Chains A and B, each alone.
Chain A
Amino acid sequence: MSIHLERGDDGQVSFYINGDLQFDSRDERIYHESLALPPLALAERRKNGFIRALIIGGGDGLTARELLKSKRVTSVDLVDYDFRVLNLAQNEFAALNDGSLFDPRLKTHIDDAWNYVEKAIADGITFDLIVSDLTVPEDAIGARMHSIEWYQMLKKVLSANGTMSINTVSPSATPDAYWCVLHSILSAGLFARPYRIHIPSFAAKGYGLDWGFVLVSNTPISSYEFESHFHLARPRLELTDVQQLRKLFAFPEEFVAYQPSSRPASQASDILLHYFNNAEELIAESGASWNSLDFDFRRVNVPSPDINKYLVPREVRALLSTPVVTPAEEEELLGRVLDLMPALHRFQTRQMVSEFLESPESFLRAIDLQALVSRLLQRASELPQKLVEELQHLSEHVRDFTGDYDGLLRLGMRVLSIVTLVVVVGNLLYPDSVYGKGEHGGGHTSGGAGRGGDRGAGNRAGDRAGDRGFDRGRGLDRGFNRGFNRDWGHRAWWGHYGQWHHWGNWGYWGWARPAYSWAYAPWWGPAYPLGTGYVNLNFGNGQCVDEQGNNYPARTYGLADTSGADITNTGVPMQTSVTQKMTGDYRLNTGADILANGNVAIPLTDTSYMLLTAQATNVVDQTSGQTIVALYNDPALIRQTAMEIRRQRRSLQRAIKKKEASQSQSDSMTFQSGNQQNQDANQAPASPQEIDNLKSTVALLNKSLHSLGQPLTLAPQGAGQGDETPHQGQGQAEREELGPTQPPVPGAIELMSSVWMLQDGKFLVLKLADGSLAYLNNKGWYLDQGVTPLKHPFPRNFKNVSQAFIAKMVKDSDAEKSSMTQDLNDGKQELAALNQDLADYETGPQDSANNGDDDKVDFGHEQIPRSEAIRRTKVQIALTQRRIDAIQSQFNSLPQELAVSQKMLQTLQS
């Protein structure tokens, strides 16, 4: 256990255990008064005479300070296993805890709480008052302290009419976990009243808008007990009176919805940690309340306890135990398993896990599948018949396995799904895995030794999967068609563009073919901004913000006052004079901004950008702000852009709703002292300024839709959403309905929206704003291929822009080629080494004593039969060859576009 102490210049103290804030001296009284004084008042009300108390945890002495305010508390036993915390309490915290640890009524026990309580039970000791002030559980040992068995033990040491309060977790941030604890208490036969408070320093750390406690007794706690002869000990700085206390028992009505499915935990269960790691934050939108003081908990149907720790996560277990009926379900099984995979560590999120599992086949690379299948068949009696049948089927083919995981999957979907699942679990249990540098972020290295794609992936949703790597053909069917090698299958319609995908990775072209960037709207995306962009003082002041609240330095765009509108039908702009600098205030995508006037801008080169307007897609000179050429509005681009704006707007509208709801919720549990100095993060109740900033951003997105000539709302379709944002399925339909934009000349290769290169590289073909075509080379532009000049002045600047654009692509392509060449060389080197090994095994000296093939040879760190070494080496050769072939195939696909680009570049440069 690590402890960490921070002192501010003003004497403020923050205390951390295992990196988690235990208290901030500026608002610790909110926590400690709320935890200790209600059960104390109840104990005093219920019992005449002296009170014997037990504090479990609470080594900082702050809970003790509260209990010792009562003269009727004559004995406090404090049990904490960490002497370092007790030392701090006697020294650094002594002023804060009023020297509670030196009070003669208090006795400290450096012991494990479980052991201490067990001994107390054995000795027949009971307490009138117990306060459990333990840290939030992070592991099995911590979770055990919220198990049914633990609460059954506490019940035994709590006197018949005694009272107890328990520090738990945040009901709003981790509602399942809170109900789990509450259900464990109820399952132990105790009576409970949950309540919660708002602690600014906790909220600022992201621990939740509220913090939960439970008031507990061996006998029912009735509401009327708070009405008479109920006196909160003095002095108090935060908990002003009983009326205020009663308010703390109110919860949002939505909280109750978590009750039926949140299971209590036995001491062997890991379900509480599971709930923590995969918490769904409560979004209280209704404004309605549920009051735990008025609730009859005897009516609660407590789910059956969770009694074990499992290897297979619950969600996946549920899926795999459901009979698969149709072949389609069978085919989707692995994808569904992986999509349901929860976080297995507190450092992970579902989003991280999802990205970590991008290449399922990579988890099997190190496994000797033939040996595994054979081993499992030897243990067939321990396996279900269905699996045994699959294993037998697999065993007939696995010896010929050459790296075709998809093929293998078809032979044994259920077996391979379980094997993959187990290996994935093993990886996820190791907390660092999701921060690894594997191939999940892209890159073309599809296996074997060599470099991966460096960084696992980023933390931003939305513009992720489609932006990087080769052959990222996954479309909207994410998760339900995922199998091995799914990068090569299940393409959405833009798969038609084949190898051009890699151009799309760099932003510009990807935007011009917008489908790539936005096809991956994540199902796990947060429902509201997580960053501080909307609370940041720099909002609207030279910084750009995105949907998630991330901040960026704003890009600046030159814009002439009529760039957006003043064009002729042929796409040639009229010259204007007034140029202003506009900043990209909102980042719609890594390659696109929304300007203050609502226009969408897409940077093309250092000196130019694309401006989307209702009339045309203008290529604009960055410095002068003049439109260089006005291109035809590709309906796919415009609709896709509008659709994404609507999606992001909906996300922001949800954020506003949530923020407003949280503001009103927090009012009921915020203490009178107005101790709010720590509120600086998104988890704190929203400030009016933050809500205003979100609203102004929504207004900007509306303006943007208007600038595209798009309706603010869409007619409801398909899923019957009825709101302005299409359901994912609806979006897919919309995309598919549009289809790819066909080149105006057969075989032409798309460079950017409404611009193509002819195969011979002699002309760029521009589709102008009015739909007419123009052929452009270094000398001029024409109605046809160089015969009939256009009347309008030659847009020389566009030639320069195209030249720079293509040059950049060619340069990038060279980088990709050299990267692939290196991987190819690595692969070939490895292949040569393996072939040499094979030759050695096949021709090496035989051990006559062992009759030829069965002699033992070195294979890595093992000694195995020669025949086995030959088999394994052949498998490795096949896998390596397959990898080489895959890279070679990508490599081979580069030349066509690259050759055309190079020819085009020559044409424009000459």
Chain B
Amino acid sequence: MDKLEVRILENLESDSELALNWESLVQTDPSSGFMQSLNWAEFKGKQGLRQFHLGLFAGEKLVGGALLYGVAESCGAGILVAPEGPVLPWHDQELASSGMKLLMQTIQSKAKELGIMAVRIIPKVPMPIPRCLRGFGKAPVDLLESETLYLDVSQKESQLLAAMKPKGRYNIGLSERHGVTVDIRQEPVAVRDFYPIFKEASSRDDFRIEPLNFFIDLADTLCPKGIAHFLFAKHEGETLATMLLVTYGDRATYLYGGISNGKRNLMAGYALQWAAIKHAQALGCTTYDFYGFDQHCAPSSAYAQFSRFKSNFGGQVMRFIGAHDFYFVDNLADAIIRATKEINLAECSQDVQAGAR
């Protein structure tokens, strides 16, 4: 094996050979996904995040790396995040371990410059936690779902239907019989029709959604590239359900979606999922990710209701290790000392009054 080394990949042109190699690597790595793609990085850039892209090379061959995101101004308290990353050959423990070591060394060497005190990784690696992550600790928040449901959509439609729970099959049929149709739109402006329904669902079902700006940027970046797709289930011209589907490599992800309050008896959600699954197939995907699942449907889980719905389509439960943090102790100590100094300075300043108002 050639010697491993990490290189910082700056401003990759999307059509450069290296960029194409990166995309290819990400797409074929089951532990990664679209959030490590350059297109997603472009979207996050519009959201004000800067990126730090590392490539892991064996000789001249790109074998891994990480696209990390962080904020520009952090007073030394920043956290660099690699959603669906780092991209490493996790199946080869020794290689993954060597790669991780090199990636972390590079990040650590740049930590001060980047204003960070920690790095957060969220690879889609199944339990148990790889030994090379021993120094990491569980993050306080999983930025991605750590348990989800994968549906193998390489099967024929009839096989998919046969593998569903009877309720799933029945409701797909019911929705169809009632004349629910599904439009698939690729133009960014569809976000305008998507968001109100999504918002209605979020307020009813009590889940939090990002502001419209987020979705406008997402649609503007990913729709023209054929990565983001809006689906609308309709009945007699009325939109009853909507979804933002992301397709990347051989995986389609049901990233966001919701059902309106109207005509719930028409089971538009089933029509929508079924159309999305078929659309994913048509685009050559072999896996449909329901993006979040609780296999036990435990009442204490906020996901119980959604999981019961998703379980009707069949699929395989996937459990990943979730988000893990590593703190650079020296940098953390720097940030704490800075904080302490700020507090001491505030004792004699107007901050006390201003803050107390």
Contact = CB atoms under 8 A, between A and B. Distances in A.
B204 A317 contact: no
B79 A372 contact: no
A35 B77 CA distance: 40
A451 B147 contact: yes
A433 interface: yes
B329 to A, nearest CB: 5
Given A2-B216, A372-B332, A454-B294, A426 B117 contact: yes
Contact of B100 (A140, A449, A861): A861
Contacts of B200: 551
B198 interface: no
Interface stretch (B2-10, B26-34, B137-145, B228-236): B137-145
Nearest to B147: A451
A375 interface: yes
Interface string B182-216: 00000011001000000010111111111111101
A347 B118 contact: no
Interface in B283-325: 292, 294, 296-304, 319, 321-325
Contact of A375 (B49, B210, B330, B357): B330
Interface string B117-137: 110000000011101111111
B282 interface: no
Given A362-B140, A812-B298, A4 B188 contact: yes
A340 B325 CA distance: 25
A469 B303 CA distance: 12
A309 B339 CA distance: 12
B141 A356 contact: yes
B322 A458 contact: no
Given A2-B46, A4-B220, A366-B137, A459 B77 contact: no
B135 A363 contact: no
Contact of B97 (A468, A548, A858): A858
B15 interface: no
Interface stretch (A417-425, A486-494, A624-632, A776-784): A417-425
Given A384-B344, A430-B81, A366 B324 contact: yes
Given A444-B300, A837-B131, A16 B79 contact: no
B73 A470 contact: no
B301 A318 contact: no
Interface string B92-132: 00000100110110000000000001100000000111011
Contacts of B40: none
Contacts of B210: 347, 435
B65 interface: no
Contacts of B128: 449, 826, 829-830, 833
A845 B76 CA distance: 40
Contact of A317 (B145, B327, B346): B346
Contacts of B261: 538, 543, 551-553
A191 to B, nearest CB: 25
Contacts of A39: none
Among the interface residues B47, B74, B329, which one has the most CB atoms of the partner chain A within 10 A?
B329
Given A317-B342, A321-B343, A459 B357 contact: no
Interface string B210-250: 11111011001100000000000000000000000000000
A406 interface: no
Contact of A6 (B137, B192, B208, B327): B192
A505 interface: yes
B296 A432 contact: no
Nearest to A18: B213
Contacts of B202: 458-459
B149 interface: no
A40 to B, nearest CB: 32
A304 B189 CA distance: 45
Given A553-B261, A858-B97, A860-B132, A459 B206 contact: yes
B164 interface: no
Interface string A443-462: 11001111111111111100
Contacts of A451: 146-147, 294, 319, 322
Contacts of B137: 365-367
A139 B48 contact: yes
Contacts of B325: 366
B247 to A, nearest CB: 21
A352 interface: yes
Given A19-B217, A365-B137, A422-B335, A437 B297 contact: no
B61 interface: no
A311 B339 contact: yes
Contacts of A352: 208
Contact of B204 (A303, A347, A443, A551): A551
Nearest to B77: A426
Contacts of B301: 442-443, 453-454, 819
A447 B213 CA distance: 33
A312 interface: yes
Contacts of B129: 449, 830, 833
A718 interface: no
A311 B138 contact: no
Interface stretch (B151-159, B267-275, B348-356): B348-356
Interface string A81-105: 0000000000000000000000000
A873 B192 CA distance: 52
A382 interface: yes
B346 A321 contact: yes
A458 B138 contact: no
A441 B302 contact: yes
A4 B187 CA distance: 12
A422 B116 CA distance: 12
Among the interface residues A261, A270, A452, A858, which one has the most CB atoms of the partner chain B within 10 A?
A452
A359 interface: yes
Among the interface residues A138, A441, A876, which one has the most CB atoms of the partner chain B within 10 A?
A441
Interface in B52-85: 69-79, 81
B204 A418 contact: no
A215 to B, nearest CB: 27
B67 to A, nearest CB: 14
A872 B78 CA distance: 24
A431 interface: yes
Contacts of B103: 861
Contact of A261 (B97, B300, B353): B353
A677 interface: no
Contacts of B72: 139-140
A303 B352 contact: no
A319 B355 CA distance: 8
A309 B75 contact: yes
B337 interface: yes
A430 B71 contact: yes
A385 to B, nearest CB: 11
B336 A376 contact: yes
B228 to A, nearest CB: 14
A527 to B, nearest CB: 18
B77 A861 contact: no
A418 B340 contact: yes
B147 A440 contact: no
B46 A18 contact: yes
Contacts of B118: 366, 423, 426
The 4 closest A-B pairs by CB, nearest first: A19-B213, A366-B137, A318-B355, A458-B206
Given A376-B336, A423-B332, A435-B208, 19 more contacts: A19-B211, A310-B75, A312-B342, A318-B355, A375-B329, A384-B340, A429-B71, A430-B79, A430-B81, A436-B323, A442-B302, A443-B300, A449-B127, A451-B146, A464-B206, A550-B203, A553-B204, A816-B296, A829-B127
Interface of B: 46-49, 69-79, 81, 97, 100-101, 103-104, 117-118, 127-129, 131-147, 188-189, 192, 200, 202-214, 216-217, 220-221, 261-262, 264, 292, 294, 296-304, 319, 321-327, 329-330, 332-333, 335-344, 346-347, 350-357
14 contacts: A317-B355, A319-B355, A372-B332, A372-B336, A375-B329, A430-B78, A431-B71, A437-B143, A444-B300, A449-B127, A459-B203, A819-B294, A819-B301, A822-B296
